[in-house]
């Protein structure tokens, strides 16, 4: 067990030293390459910042306005027969926009029901089986300057639905 702990602690420094070592053996200007990459990364961050701010504001408005509670009460009619608790609906919806905002909702669920409860287990599996669709599409497509997304949104929504359905099935198997 101690060997695994040591390996997990040493993995990132070993990886970084191996990259620097390879660069030095290849006679590359490692520091100059690093600075150039950092500049390119900073330009990417500046380019996607408006999108990130817009998504964060949008999620904040949805939470503060009570719209998520309204949607949750509307969808609970369909969710309850499937043994999908209504209190998980806002977290599942927000997860499509922002993982960090969904994490805040998950922590609220953990406080109310406990992490090992039916709701806690299901929301944990949902968080790991789904993706932040709109965040990912907006950030990566904007950074890559993709104009035509084709079937990306439809495919992402289907896979999120499949991940959510899988989480319901897995949770029912556990409980």
* Domains of the chain, residue spans: 43-174
Which regions in the chain score pLDDT beneath 50?
none
pLDDT recorded at residue 122? 94
pLDDT recorded at residue 14? 92
List the alpha helices (DSSP H) in 26-151. Answer: 30-65, 67-79, 89-95, 99-113, 118-129, 133-143
pLDDT recorded at residue 2? 84
pLDDT recorded at residue 112? 93
pLDDT recorded at residue 169? 93
Report pTM: 0.68
Angstrom distance (rounded) from CA 121 to CA 113: 10
pLDDT recorded at residue 56? 76
Angstrom distance (rounded) from CA 30 to CA 28: 5
- The answer to whether 66 and 145 are in contact (CB under 8 A) is no
Tens of pLDDT, residue by residue over 3-16, are 888 888 899 999 99
pLDDT recorded at residue 18? 92
């Amino acid at each position: 067990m101690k060997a695994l702990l040591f390996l997990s602690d040493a993995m990132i420094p070993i990886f970084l030293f191996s990259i620097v070592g390879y660069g030095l053996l290849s006679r590359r200007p490692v520091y100059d390459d690093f600075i150039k990459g950092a500049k390119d990364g900073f330009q990417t961050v500046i380019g996607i910042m408006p999108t990130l701010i817009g998504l964060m504001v949008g999620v904040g408005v949805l939470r503060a306005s009570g719209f998520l509670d309204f949607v949750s009460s509307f969808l609970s009619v369909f969710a309850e027969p499937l043994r999908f608790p209504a209190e998980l609906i806002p977290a599942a919806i927000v997860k499509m926009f922002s993982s960090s905002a969904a994490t805040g909702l998950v922590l609220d669920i953990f406080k109310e029901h406990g992490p090992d409860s039916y709701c806690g287990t299901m929301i944990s599996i949902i968080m790991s089986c789904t993706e932040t669709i709109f965040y990912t599409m907006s950030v990566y497509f904007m950074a890559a300057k993709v104009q035509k997304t084709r079937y990306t949104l439809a495919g992402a929504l289907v896979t999120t639905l499949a991940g959510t359905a899988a989480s319901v099935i897995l949770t029912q198997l556990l409980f």
